Amino acid sequence: MNHLQSVCCKINDLEINEATSSVSRSGQPIALPLLSFKLLLVLCKNAPAIVSNQQLIQQVWENKVVSDDTIQQRVKLLRQALGDDPKSPTYIATIRGQGYRLIHTVEDISIENQKKHKQKLLIKITAYTLSVIALIFISINFNSSSSTLEQSSNPQAEETVTNFDKDKHSTIEAARNYYFNGKDYLNRRTETSNRAALMQFEKAIELDPGYALAYTGVAHISAERYKHFEKKSELLNTAEQAALKAISLRPDIYETHHALAISYHTAQKIPEAKEAYRKVLSIHSNHSQSLNNLSYLERLDGNYHESLMLAFKQVKAAPRKPLSYVQVAENYINLGHHNLAVLWHQKALSLAPQNRYIQFSICRLHIKLKNLDAAEKSCNFMVDWAPDDAWGYEWVGHLALLKGERKKAIENYRSAMELDSNYSKFRYPSLVISMPGQDPVMLKASMEESHKKMLSFIEESPDSIGDILNICDFYAVTENKKQLLFWMRKLLENGFTDYRSFLYTDIYGKYHDEPDFVELLNQFKTNQLKLQNSIEKHLIISPQQFNELDFTLIE
């Protein structure tokens, strides 16, 4: 959107004048500190797109070192000034994991219209002169103090060091600053910030070779890079070695063991990851991420009793975190207690109605129950709230495939691949078989490349359920019945009962009446019933019953 200096833009009932750095509502001025005004203006100029934290740092803070907490605080201050409720926003929406965007469309107000508004505005401004001067004086003082904070790498972390975590950190101030800068870059989760974070952690280590937390930073950043940007095995080795070095320096703090758990988890070394998570919990029994990840791994291994115990502990430790409740719901989905799964999902939604992962989990439940229209609503929600994320499009594709809408499925899978080639490149490439106009030679080469890549993933991580599921899909699409049966039996051998194991008998209707597939389906169901019977009765409860329960009964 191009603005003339004398032209305002309008957002719902707000009028913004860039030339005078002013904002008004119904002709009444709203006093904003300069940074808050710049933030609103950047959102306005980028509308309707989502504006990431990195973009805000570039356009609002002019590439100064600013933490995510500082950005959140500035958004909070802007919302307070505008009277915007973050739980039910009128102006600014938070897009989890991506940034912020304006809810309403932005309109340009013509110069002629602005002249009419200006005459009325001048009269009202005169009446507000004294109050505005006072507000400006306050905002100048506020900006003076807040700018000092915003140029600090992480003021909250610095305070933490001073008060009670000092023994974990380097005594060298510059090393600490590099470490905190690295953490800030790590939290931005872009490829550029990933590289910047690694440089910061390495500088911290260079200044203080005994700084254990800096090594944990290297471990985390290497694991993140492997997961999201480069599938290079040397990154996994770097992550593991950095974490082991951190433990050798500080075996007494949970952060070093958590870094090792993450490195093992990323490398699909599941037994080692579980052991490392347990070590974290032996030091910090309420560490929410370790409780969540260990519960997830136990669930994948079919240890639903242990998974539920951990999930309940996570709910107890972090009752305001919605994903704690989702973990319980996921267990109940796998156990076939669908009504309970619905109740736990509802509790999660009451805490975070716009959380895409909750919607994803609800989508899975509806698929399990064959409520495809309800599942599609959840998937469409993910796409609407995160239009630049591959995940939503992929699941819309899954549903279209279940409904027999193959062309729609392919379109959505392609959208997912265009948004994130690393995420979707080798997951459903074979669907392009049915698209007209494909070059047979190129198509065959692409299929062979995908097949080799999938097999290489399994060779690297033989117990990876996700990779086995992907190759099952590949063989289902390419109608390789023998290989599909082989890999589905692999899932059974691993004790896997997740809903996706059943999809292969339904997606491609040609198999669902064949004896081999009927036998497999019955084995999945038998395994699930055994699991249901193995769970102690006091773990089969609703959120309300959990709140009323004496927690010592399940500890």
pTM for this entry: 0.58
- Name the region of 370 (left: φ>0; alpha: ψ -120 to 50; beta: rest): left
Q: What is the pLDDT of residue 421?
A: 56
Residue 487 CA: distances (Å) to CA of 69, 424, 469, 520, 526: 46, 20, 8, 11, 19
pLDDT digits (tens, 9 = 90+) for 215-274: 999 999 999 998 888 878 899 999 999 999 999 999 999 999 999 999 999 998 889 999
Q: What is the pLDDT of residue 160?
A: 39
Q: What is the pLDDT of residue 213?
A: 96
C-alpha to C-alpha distance for 325 and 183, rounded to whole angstroms: 27
C-alpha to C-alpha distance for 490 and 464, rounded to whole angstroms: 11
C-alpha to C-alpha distance for 485 and 533, rounded to whole angstroms: 27
Q: What is the pLDDT of residue 138?
A: 41
- Taking 50 as the pLDDT cut, the residues of the chain under it are 1-7, 110-112, 114, 117, 121, 123-124, 130, 132-164, 424-437, 499-500, 504-508, 551-555
Q: What angle do CA 8, 11, 16 make, to 5 degrees?
A: 30
**Half-sphere exposure (CA, 13 Å, Cβ side) for 483?**
15
Nearest CA among 261, 283, 270 for reference residue 216: 261
Backbone angles phi, psi at 265, to 5 degrees: -60, -45
The amino acid at 73: Q
CATH assignment, 163-284: 1.25.40.10
User: What is the token pair recorded at 348?
Assistant: 């999660």
Q: What is the pLDDT of residue 497?
A: 63
Domain regions of the chain by residue span: 8-150, 163-284, 445-538
Nearest CA among 236, 227, 233 for reference residue 420: 227
* Cis? peptide before 89, omega within 30° of 0: no
Residue count of the chain, please give it: 555
Residue 99 in contact with residue 43, Cβ under 8 Å?
A: no
Backbone angles phi, psi at 93, to 5 degrees: -105, 140
> What's the burial of 10, exposed, middle or buried (CB within 10 Å: 0-12/13-18/19+)?
middle
C-alpha to C-alpha distance for 553 and 425, rounded to whole angstroms: 47
User: What is the token pair recorded at 39?
Assistant: 């933030």
Q: What is the pLDDT of residue 369?
A: 77
The amino acid at 364: R
Q: What is the pLDDT of residue 163?
A: 41
Q: Hey, how many other C-beta atoms are within 10 angstroms of the C-beta on 12?
A: 15
Fold of 8-150: Arc Repressor Mutant, subunit A (1.10.10)
